[in-house]
Amino acid sequence: MDDLYREVIVERYKNPYYKGELNPHDISFEDENPLCGDHIRIDLTVDEQGKITGARFSGHGCAISQASADLLLESVIGKTVDEVKTMNKQNVLDLLGIELGPVRLKCALLPLKVLKAGVYGLGEASDSLVDDSEEE
Amino acid sequence: MQQTNFITGLDVEQIRADFPILNREVKPGVKLVYLDSAATSQKPLAVIETLDLYNRKYNANIHRGVHTLAEEATAMYEDARKKIAEFIKARSAREVVYTRNATESINLVTQTWGRANLNAGDVIILTEMEHHSNLVPWQMLAAEKNLRLEFIPVTEDGLLDLETYRKLLTLGPRMVAFSGMSNVLGTITPVKEITALAHQAGALTLVDGAQLVPHLPVNVQDLDIDFLAFSGHKMCGPTGIGILWGREALLEAMPPFLGGGDMIKKVYLRNFSSNTLPHKFEAGTPSIAEGIGLGAAVDYLTGIGMQAVETYEQNIIRYALDRLSEVPGLKVIGPEAGKRGGVSSFTMQGIHPHDVAQILDSAGIAVRAGHHCAMPLHDKFGLPATTRASFYLYNTHSEVDALVEGLYRVQKMFG
């Protein structure tokens, strides 16, 4: 269980690299997990080729959601918007390097949900953006 | 009758032996420390065995059958109702309506009494510390009827601001609906005083007793309230069964709630007449085993004595607040000991409640993290969430120690 709080997770929670806001930005989206009140906003800057040049997150949440946001944004800088659209649950779990039960999975996936809703330009973030199991 | 320890109120080791789940391990070698009774309590053997016996021996549908099993099941179900009536000192079992839970009980009042009696512009007074169950049903009714909702503020130290309440009463409210004990702050509200003031102003009162009834003696006649809602599963009983108590004259005048079997006297193709109390509000086959199980829970609590339960919990929450205050960076919200029941919600500097709860779980300690179905109250205190440890008659002082030890471990991990 304490594996859940791997050093990298606690470290990124306490000292995130990508926390903050980008103004101006090209894409911004925010959403929350109504179960726990975790709230995340993600701002992106994107160049003419559709490549992500800057990313920041703000809001509040548990160590899992905050570390997930920080590691996720680190991984998408330099990627294209189209590449982000193909990211899924497994990408996040690989970044975190942990196994998660269903409740904490929602914490971990909130940043990806917000990110994908943002790049798709959706009005609303849906679980189907991150949970491929529902389509099986 | 349990042997009473006059220092703490009751013999906790003897009580623990009645709750088989308290012996389970959460994982090999890690024993359960259950500190989430404000969400749902554990069940004593007496309740578990009653449910089992009912299903093995008595199961039948009630109120209509003439065969032996139906008669026995009906007698057990109605006998439980009498026990519950006696437990809260109702004048009559006719005033005791079975529902699914406290939430449904409150919805019953808003949908029947509220719809029949309230008009546009009428004022309902609630409080800022309400559980969503005593907030959303009134919001729904207010939207439908164009009512005005007003709120008794919660002070910095987690008490109701009665000065403002007195001012709100000048608006001529029709109903004051409030929690008897906050599920987040633990605050025990002055039910009798609030009710007396409401009645002077011509308003009725509804008490959300979900946290109150399980933890201290409740006498509806002495409190002089008009409605009381509570759930079985928070007071050693099963889930799926709750109670609405109401004054007989009020219940009598209210239209029925759900329509269907059992709530009728006569049915014609185009109309029906309602059954007598309390059956008028009980449509369809109810949770029979669970109602009988709640009767067993009431027997169990009565055997121990609610005064002893209250004394014991006062003792343990006092100890818990003392120990929690030792932990650096930890802040408990709500009033001091003596003004609260066995509930302690807290924050830890720089650590999210979900992380606190998760790390405590690895030591077998079950607490709750989140907004505890009281989002407006958390907004008021500027907190997205808290961690809540709640206590009941089976919790021990050494479990408080285990909690505090676990919290030190949380701090070390995030330190």
User: Is the predicted ipTM greater than 0.90, yes or no?
Assistant: no
CB-based contact A63 B352, cutoff 8 Å: yes
User: Residue B258, Cβ neighbours under 10 Å: how many?
Assistant: 13
Q: How far apart are CA B284 and CA B281, in angstroms?
A: 10
> Active-site residues of B: which are they?
373
| pTM of the predicted model as reported, rounded to 2 decimal places | 0.92
Residue A94 maps to a domain: yes
User: Given pLDDT bands bounded at 50, 70 and 90, which one contains residue B3?
Assistant: very low
pLDDT at A132: 62
* CB contacts, 8 Å: B406 with chain A: none
Q: What share of chain A is helix, strand, coil (3-state, %, to 5)?
A: 50, 20, 30
CB-based contact B385 A37, cutoff 8 Å: yes
Is pLDDT above 90 for A49?
yes
pLDDT at A121: 85
Domains in chain B (CATH in brackets) are: 12-31+305-414 (3.90.1150.10), 48-303 (3.40.640.10)
Residue A15 maps to a domain: yes
Residue A132 maps to a domain: no
Mean pLDDT computed over every residue of chain B:
96
- Residue-wise pLDDT for B46-98, tens only, equals 999 999 999 999 999 998 888 999 999 999 999 999 999 999 999 999 999 99
The per-residue DSSP string of B320-387 comes to HHHHHHHSTTEEEESPPTTSB-SEEEEEETTB-HHHHHHHHHHTTEE-EEE-TT-HHHHHHTT-S-EE
pLDDT at B1: 40
Residue A106 maps to a domain: yes
CB-based contact B358 A4, cutoff 8 Å: yes
Q: How many residue contacts between A and B have a Cβ separation below 8 Å?
A: 50
A26 CA: distance to closest CA in chain B (Å): 29
CB-based contact A36 B362, cutoff 8 Å: no
**Helix (H/G/I), strand (E/B), else coil: B72:** helix
Closest listed residue to residue A75, CA positions, set A59, A62, A60, A94? A94
Residue A111 maps to a domain: yes
Q: How far apart are CA B329 and CA B333, in angstroms?
A: 13
Q: How far apart are CA B377 and CA B384, in angstroms?
A: 10
pLDDT at A135: 39
Q: Is residue B364 a contact partner of residue B406, using CB atoms and an 8 Å limit?
A: no
B195 CA: distance to closest CA in chain A (Å): 34
pLDDT at A134: 45
* CB contacts, 8 Å: B362 with chain A: 1-2
In chain A, residues 38-97 whose CB comes closer than 8 Å to chain B: 38-39, 60-64, 66
User: Given pLDDT bands bounded at 50, 70 and 90, which one contains residue A32?
Assistant: confident
Higher per-residue pLDDT: A36 or A98: A98
CA separation, residue B42 to residues B120, B375, B391 (Å) = 43, 26, 11
Residue A80 maps to a domain: yes
Provide the domain count of chain A: 1
Domain harbouring A33, CATH code? 3.90.1010.10
Does B377 lie at the interface with A, CB-CB under 8 angstroms?
A: no
**Helix (H/G/I), strand (E/B), else coil: B307:** helix
Nearest-by-CA chain B residue for A32 = B384
The per-residue DSSP string of B139-159 comes to HHHHHHHT-EEEEEPBPTTS-
Is pLDDT above 70 for A97?
yes
Q: Which of B352, B367, B414 to mutate to test the interface with A (most CBs of A within 10 A)?
A: B352
Average pLDDT over residues B181-196: 98
- Residue-wise pLDDT for B115-173, tens only, equals 999 999 999 999 999 999 999 999 999 999 999 999 999 999 999 999 999 999 999 99
CB-based contact A1 B362, cutoff 8 Å: yes
Place of tokens 């949970």: A131
Nearest-by-CA chain B residue for A101 = B358
Out of A37, A60, A63, closest to residue B355 by CB: A63
Task: Identify the H or E element spanning B282.
Answer: none
For residue A70, give its domain range: 2-121
